[in-house]
Every structure is written in structure tokens, then in C-alpha cells.
């Protein structure tokens, strides 16, 4: 979870529809895989690592983010989490990159560096923001280099030396709502303000309905090759 988005939500990610639905999709993509430990790259608050510790057999997590002011350790449900500025000594078999690649100029190089440092057969679960035509002040605020399509993320995986297993879009049902908001802003340039994150706390009923809409996609998650706010990919080191 991006530390800037964490600040925008005021620490309310655990209850926010977007993060709850994304966590459910993450676990769906990983269903059936043995998860002993996770290396969460660009982890920010560590939200997704904690979700794995809580809802899967995953026994330990290392969260890596160069923006941490210090390094520390804690536990979640009795399971250890290390927070580090740089990855060290990881021998588990799952690497998370949840909305990370869009923050670097050379996404293939980042993937190659991690693929070379983990055991053969390690799985990577990667998400990135989708639909380049959805570019907005939200992306500028979060310091993104790009938004992706399935094809462009597939090319990044290949450049990183990863074997793609699954790739799909998610948040397809709420894409029209988000597109209406962002495209509407383009039609009213006089109302443009300093770029900010689109993540906001929602009224509880709106939050509930948006989460339920997104969760309705889960049974067909890997079949969506058409459109969505995010691209999900499961890959492994060959």
C-alpha cells in the first residue's frame, strides 16, 4: 500500500472497499499455492502482507520499502513481520509487488533484480494500475511513470525473466464509475486543482456497495481480459 495513499485514508485501509476487494482478489489468485513466507516489495503500511498472515498459512513476512524512516519488527496474529528498507536474506517462495512497477522507470530491470535474488520456482504476484487512457492527477500525485494494459505488463514480465502463469484485469465493474469521474474532470479544465489521490473515505453504505460490486467479479477473475482499474499477474521464476 502506497504510503501517500495511507496518509490520504488516514489509516482506514482495512475498512476501505478498494483495499478489501484487492486483498480478496490477491488471495483468490494465490489459492492453492503453498505460502510459507512472503516478501512484500514496496509494502508501505504492510497491509497486504498482514492480510496473508491473517487469512492464509503464511507464517512470516518481510516488508520492504525504501521510504521507511527506520527498520523495525512486529507481529501480526503471533506471526513475525520485518520492515526493512532493502530486501535481505529471503528464502521464501512468494514475492508481492502490489502497485510497485508503475513507480520505477525500468520495470523489467526491477523484476530481474528480484528474480535473480530468490529461489527458482518462487512465485510473484504483481498488480499495476490499468488503462493508460485513465491517466489523471491521481497518477501524478502518486508519482507513477505509466498505467498498464495486459500486453504491456506481459512484456515487463518477459523482460524481467519471469514465466507468466495468469494475467487478468480486476475492478472491471467499477471502471465506468471511475472513468466518468476522471473523464469528466478533463471536460472541466477550469476546475483542475493540485494533483491528489482519488482514494477517499466513503460513507459506510457506499463503501459496502462498492466492495460487494467488486467481490462479485471474483468467480470470473482470471477470465477478464477486457478492462479494469488494475491488472493482476501471477508469475514465477523459471
Residue 89: predicted pLDDT? 80
Report whether 47 contacts 54 (CB < 8 A).
Answer: no
Instruction: Please say if the pLDDT value at position 196 is more than 80.
Output: no
Mean pLDDT taken over the chain: 92
Which pLDDT tens digit goes with each residue over 32-62?
Answer: 999 999 999 999 999 999 999 999 999 999 9
pLDDT band at 30 (very low <50, low <70, confident <90, very high): very high
pLDDT band at 186 (very low <50, low <70, confident <90, very high): confident
**Predicted model pTM:** 0.93
Closest of 156, 155, 18 to residue 100, by C-alpha = 156
CA dihedral 192→183→207→61, nearest 10 degrees, is: -90
Instruction: Please say if the pLDDT value at position 16 is more than 90.
Output: yes
Q: How many CB atoms lie within 10 A of CB 127?
A: 24
Report whether 120 contacts 150 (CB < 8 A).
Answer: no
Walk me through the domains of the chain, giving residue ranges and CATH numbers.
Answer: 3-237 (3.40.50.150)
Amino acid at each position: 500500500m502506497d504510503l501517500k495513499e495511507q496518509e490520504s485514508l488516514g489509516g482506514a485501509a482495512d475498512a476501505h472497499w478498494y483495499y478489501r476487494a484487492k486483498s480478496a482478489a490477491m488471495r483468490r489468485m494465490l489459492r492453492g499455492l503453498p505460502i510459507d513466507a512472503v516478501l512484500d516489495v514496496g509494502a508501505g503500511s504492510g497491509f497486504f502482507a498482514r492480510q496473508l498472515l491473517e487469512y492464509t498459512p503464511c507464517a512470516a513476512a518481510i516488508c520492504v520499502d525504501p521510504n521507511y524512516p527506520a527498520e523495525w519488527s512486529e507481529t501480526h496474529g503471533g506471526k513475525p513481520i520485518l520492515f526493512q528498507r532493502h530486501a535481505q536474506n529471503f528464502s521464501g517462495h512468494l514475492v508481492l509487488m502490489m502497485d510497485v512497477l508503475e513507480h520505477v522507470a525500468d520495470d523489467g530491470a526491477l523484476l530481474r533484480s528480484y528474480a535473480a535474488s530468490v529461489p527458482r520456482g518462487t512465485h510473484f504476484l504483481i498488480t499495476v494500475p490499468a488503462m493508460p487512457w485513465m491517466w489523471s492527477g491521481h497518477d501524478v500525485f502518486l508519482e507513477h511513470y505509466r498505467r498498464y494494459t495486459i500486453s504491456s505488463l506481459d512484456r515487463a514480465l518477459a523482460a524481467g525473466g519471469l514465466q507468466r502463469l495468469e494475467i487478468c484485469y480486476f475492478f472491471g465493474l467499477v471502471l465506468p464509475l471511475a472513468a466518468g469521474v476522471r473523464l469528466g474532470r478533463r471536460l472541466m479544465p477550469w476546475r483542475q486543482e493540485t494533483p491528489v489521490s482519488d482514494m477517499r473515505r466513503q460513507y459506510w453504505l457506499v463503501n459496502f456497495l462498492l466492495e460487494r460490486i467488486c467481490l462479485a467479479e471474483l468467480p470470473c477473475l482470471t477470465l477478464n481480459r477486457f478492462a479494469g482499474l488494475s491488472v493482476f499477474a501471477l508469475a514465477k521464476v523459471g
